[in-house]
A = this chain, B = another copy of it.
Amino acid sequence: MYYKESHTLILNNIERFIDLTKLEKQKYLSLLTEIKVKKKAFLMQANDVTKYEYFITKGCLKVYTLDEDGAQHISMFAVEGYWTGDMASFMTKEPTRYFIKATEHSELLGISRTNYHLLFQEIPKFEKFYRILYQRSLISYIQRSNHGMSLTAEERYIEFKKKYPKIVNRITQKDLAGYIGITPEFMSKIISKVNRM
C-alpha cells in the first residue's frame, strides 16, 4: 500500500507519538482537505473565523499580527512538517487577529473543526497525539516567551540561526526582523555585525 508524499509526511509526523492501523490511517486521511496557496496569497486574514488547522507538506508561510503602525509581528514561520493555524479562533469560533501568508508556493493538509472533533470520537488515541503535540509546543513557547523578554535582539538572532538553520535562508531579513521583534534597519546592523565577528 502506497501513500502519496504529503500523506506519508503527515502520517510519519503522527506516528512519532501513536501507532495507527492501516484502517485508522485511511480513516484519518479521509478527514483531511488538500489546500494549495500561491506565493503571497493569504491562508487566513484578521477577522476571519478560521475553519481549519493546518499541516504544511510543502512551502513556507508566515503567521503574524499587524499593529496600528502597520508593522508585522511574526509569531512563526511554518515550513514542511509544521502544524499551524490559529487555535484560539479554531476552538472558540471567534474572529482571528492573525494573518497567514505564503512566502513560497505552499501545499497543506487541513482538518476542519467538525472533523477535528469527529476524529477524537472515531479514533480516541488522537487525544494522546494532540496531548503530546501541544505539550511539546508549549515547552518551546514557554522558552520563547522568556527569551523574548530577557535576551538582547542580537542573542535572539544567534539563537534563531542555531535553532532553525534551514529557515534563515528561506525568509527575508525584514520578516526575520518581524519575528525577532525589531526594525528591519536594526536587523541589518545586527547581521552585518555578527557576520564581521
23 contacts between A and B (CB under 8 A): A65-B146, A65-B150, A67-B150, A73-B149, A75-B142, A87-B135, A87-B138, A87-B139, A88-B139, A91-B139, A120-B128, A127-B131, A128-B131, A131-B131, A134-B134, A141-B141, A141-B142, A141-B144, A141-B145, A145-B145, A145-B148, A148-B149, A150-B181
How many A residues are at the interface, by size bracket? 20 to 34
The smallest C-beta distance from A118 to any residue of chain B, in angstroms, reads 14
Residues from chain B with a CB closer than 8 A to the CB of A73 are 146, 149-150
Per-position contact with B for A125-143: 1 when CB-CB < 8 Å, else 0? 1011011001101110110
Q: How far is the CA of A120 from the CA of B141 in the complex (A)?
A: 25
Q: How far is the CA of A180 from the CA of B73 in the complex (A)?
A: 19
Which one, B87, B139, B181, contacts A149 given CB within 8 A? Answer: B181
Which one, B71, B127, B135, B181, contacts A91 given CB within 8 A? Answer: B135
State whether A135 touches B130 (Cβ < 8 A).
yes
Residues from chain B with a CB closer than 8 A to the CB of A180 are 149
Q: How far is the CA of A107 from the CA of B195 in the complex (A)?
A: 51
A124 within 8 A of B: yes
Residues from chain B with a CB closer than 8 A to the CB of A67 are 150
Q: How far is the CA of A65 from the CA of B147 in the complex (A)?
A: 11
State whether B146 touches A75 (Cβ < 8 A).
yes
Which one, B120, B125, B141, B148, contacts A138 given CB within 8 A? Answer: B141
Residues from chain B with a CB closer than 8 A to the CB of A127 are 124-125, 127-128, 131
